[in-house]
Amino acid sequence: MERPLTSNIKPGQPAPDLAEYERSGGYEAVRKALRELTPAQLTGIVKDSNLRGRGGAGFPTGSKWSFVPMGETALRPKYLVANADEMEPGAFKDRVLLEGDPHQLIEGMILAAYAIQAEAAYIFLREEYKQAERTLRKAVAETYQAGYLGKNILGSSYRLELYVHVSAGRYICGEESGLLNALEGKRAIPRSRPPFPQTSGLWGKGTIVNNVETLCNVPHIVRNGAEWFRKLSLTGDGGTKLYGASGKVKRPGLWELPMGTPIREILEEHAGGMRDGVRFRALLPGGASTDFLTEEHLDVRMDFSSVEKAGSRLGTGTMIILDDKTCPVGMVHNLELFFARESCGWCTPCREGLPWTEKILREIEAGRGRTSDLDRLALHARLLGPGRTFCALAPGAMEPLQSALKYFREDFERHIREKRCPWS
């Protein structure tokens, strides 16, 4: 099985330096693109590959690029941003790519930047990823030295400056337009759309924001072709996918597998099944902001459309496992505490509704819940749902809550009836 994204990543060993990366075929795609491909041709290849954004939303990457104004009349400079602000609870896939093979990301960024003819690129990195920061800074310096960045890249007329920008915290910075405000030195409040960042992004110029894993796929697509990429997948969405598992499984970790690998295979073969003494109860398939799935969903394939049909989202593809010795109400409370704390406070339903939700859950968990609380939680799940808030943070927060009310109803009721948490 081919594992293009992780073939250079060896656990416990330092990331490949520039020379090692080049020996594995690194920067061949940049050479090819700059010599043989027009920006439109490059975008076309990525479109044909069916690469969909790996940050969670799954938007087709080539289409996203094609919205950027091109030609003489486009406002300049244009920007390419790698979203390395991995803050979704339960997600750790981008960290592995950043620490393990930084040149793969940089090469993907040069290609994406070339496709939209950007003059500058930023890696927007979360503050806590210290090792990733060291690895990236070293790799960026090497890349400049070798002439893959800066003026006249590989003797072409194309130039690109690339900077590492280290953030200062807050989950909302991972939201595309909040990220742009953070980069501009403002509070990371999401922006109203339209205009979309592709036409009016950083400092009002055309900007593409792509997730780290998305960008890391690009060199391989350019080198091996769109058809090769599509065939890596078991389903319609192209490529491989980084899948992770955390919680009380035997071997928590991260694996690159064909897109569309069933949940059961990831859980049992790769994560080794549940630890001794605990049983599987449910899982969040793609991070904190995705709906719970249960035993009946274990044969669902982990791709965008299959997980959606099962009532949840692929999200980041990093699963969080709930076991039978962990209180589901406590878990949902923990999730809502995170979202309440991370709400940027800009729009009222999110700013007020999330702390309210968190308090109700805290009371239920502490044995002070009332039966009417369950209706109130269901009401919040509706009022903070899609279309009622400024961005996707609150609707995301409601996904685990609404599915918990569906699958763990009896556990909520037992807390209220017995006036205590049955797990404590």
State yes or no: residue 143 binds other proteins (CB under 8 A).
Answer: no
The stretch among 7-15, 63-71, 121-129, 382-390 that binds other proteins (CB under 8 A) is 121-129
Specify the DSSP element, H or E, that contains 284.
strand 280-284
Q: Which is nearer to other proteins, 234 or 421 (CB)?
A: 421
Q: Which is nearer to other proteins, 234 or 337 (CB)?
A: 337
The stretch among 159-167, 190-198, 209-217, 378-386 that binds other proteins (CB under 8 A) is 159-167
- In this structure, the strands spanning 120-125 and 161-166 are parallel
Q: Residues 343, 377: contact at Cβ < 8 Å?
A: no
Q: Residue 296: CB partners within 8 Å, gap ≥ 6? A: none
The stretch among 14-22, 158-166, 190-198, 403-411 that binds other proteins (CB under 8 A) is 158-166
The interaxial angle of helices 212-224 and 93-100, nearest 10 deg, is 60
State yes or no: residue 362 binds other proteins (CB under 8 A).
Answer: no
Residue from 13, 72, 168, 277 binding other proteins (CB under 8 A): 168
The stretch among 60-68, 147-155, 217-225, 250-258 that binds other proteins (CB under 8 A) is 250-258
CA distances from 244 to 2, 167, 271, 318, 408 (A): 18, 24, 8, 4, 24
State yes or no: residue 323 binds other proteins (CB under 8 A).
Answer: yes
- In this structure, the strands spanning 240-247 and 207-211 are unpaired
Q: Which is nearer to other proteins, 184 or 299 (CB)?
A: 184
State yes or no: residue 127 binds other proteins (CB under 8 A).
Answer: yes
Specify the DSSP element, H or E, that contains 207.
strand 207-211
State yes or no: residue 131 binds other proteins (CB under 8 A).
Answer: yes
The footprint of other proteins on residues 80-119 (CB under 8 A) is 86-92, 94-95
Q: Residue 423: CB partners within 8 Å, gap ≥ 6? A: 325, 326, 327, 330
Shortest distance, position 182 Cβ to other proteins, whole Å: 7
Q: Residues 109, 82: contact at Cβ < 8 Å?
A: yes
State yes or no: residue 169 binds other proteins (CB under 8 A).
Answer: yes
Q: Of the candidates 192, 219, 13, which has an alpha carbon nearest to the alpha carbon of residue 106? A: 219
Residue from 65, 114, 338, 408 binding other proteins (CB under 8 A): 338
Give SS3 for 154.
helix
Give SS3 for 255.
strand
Q: Which is nearer to other proteins, 50 or 117 (CB)?
A: 117
User: Where do contacts with other proteins occur on this chain (CB under 8 A)?
Assistant: 77, 86-92, 94-95, 122, 126-131, 163, 165-171, 182-188, 203, 244-248, 252-254, 284, 288, 318, 320-323, 326, 330-331, 334-335, 337-338, 341-342, 344
